[in-house]
Amino acid sequence: MEISKKGISKVIVHVILLTLALITVVPFLYVILISFGKNVIDTSALFVREFTLENYARLFGDTYFLNWILNSLLLATATMFVAVIIVSISVYCFSRLRFRGKNQLFRALLIIQIFPLSLSMVSIFRIFVSLGLLNRLEGLILVNSAFASAGLVILAKGYFDSIPFSLDEAAMIDGANKLQILFRITLPLAKPIVAVVAMQSFVIAYNEYVIASTVMARDLQAMPLAVGLQSMIVGQFGVNWSLYCAGAVLGSIPMIVLFYTLQRYFVGGLSAISEKG
């Protein structure tokens, strides 16, 4: 009887996993199918009547797709480096240093995560205007780094807290200062969470649309990929879902390559976080 219960539970688990896999994979396969369709302007179409490679050729001939994807890669890479630096230093301060208002400041980061992004768009837009950052990637790098770092500081703090403080004390006895302890002792021990922070910040910046669509809506060549793809179905290119899907397929390749290249670091980092937690 016990064996049959285990067998039933395994079947249920496999059915759930298979269902989740289908929910994830089927839409992506459908996007690939539409990307090879000719002049698909109706999203209710279930099948493609005529296949063509013209959509992929048009991406590089009739649009600024290459500019968009390069802009997004530059934006995501710069955001990743800035976020890793900010998160590393901030988490070290929250985890290792004692200063007045530390708990209140950490609670403020929690409130930032709760606050809806859409309600802050007016303020963000006015800041961009006053600093002359409209339609400039530098502005997006700054704001994406700030938003990504706020959430990742909360994620990383628990891991830093688990690193024995006795290591810091031993290093201070040997004459090391705070920065030397951070870069030579703490960060090497925190490689798993640093890898998670790097990948998460890259993904956040690469996929971000709400802010980018507000502050990067004028210069087509300067747009990141998410905003550029939107212009294919709302704007000068008219409604052409085949072209849009072709751009989405090619635009997803860097993320797929990144994930499968660094998968073991990402999964290992998350596993380490759960074990430390």
**pLDDT per residue over 133-185, tens digit each?**
888 888 899 999 988 888 888 888 888 888 888 888 888 888 888 888 888 88
In a domain, 232, yes or no: yes
Copy the structure tokens of residue 193.
């969470």
In a domain, 166, yes or no: yes
Where in the sequence is the domain holding 211, given as residue range(s)? 66-238+258-276
Q: Is the pTM of this model over 0.85?
A: no
Whole-number pLDDT of residue 167:
83
Q: The domain that contains 172 carries what CATH number?
A: 1.10.3720.10
Mean pLDDT of 4-31: 83
Is residue 227 a contact partner of residue 217, using CB atoms and an 8 Å limit?
yes
In a domain, 50, yes or no: no
Whole-number pLDDT of residue 1:
44
Whole-number pLDDT of residue 52:
82
In a domain, 73, yes or no: yes
Hey, how many other C-beta atoms are within 10 angstroms of the C-beta on 43? 10
> How many domains does one find in the chain?
1
Mean pLDDT of 225-250: 79
In a domain, 154, yes or no: yes
Least confident of 43-47, 103-107, 214-218, 273-277: 273-277
* pLDDT digits 0-9 by tens, 76-94: 999 999 999 999 988 888 8
37 bridge partner residues: 51
In a domain, 36, yes or no: no
In a domain, 249, yes or no: no
Q: Which of the given ranges, 32-41, 142-151, 226-235, has the highest pLDDT on average?
A: 142-151
Size of the chain, expressed as the number of residues it contains? 277
DSSP track, 121-161: HHHHHHHHHHHT-TT-HHHHHHHHHHHHHHHHHHHHHHHHH
* pLDDT digits 0-9 by tens, 204-218: 999 988 888 888 877
Burial class (CB in 10 A: 0-12, 13-18, 19+), 193: buried
> Please, what's the b/e burial string for 88-118 (b: 16 or more CB within 10 A of its CB; e: otherwise)?
bebbbbbbbeeeeeeeeeeeebeebeeeeee
Mean pLDDT of 109-120: 77
Copy the structure tokens of residue 10.
């395994």
In a domain, 250, yes or no: no
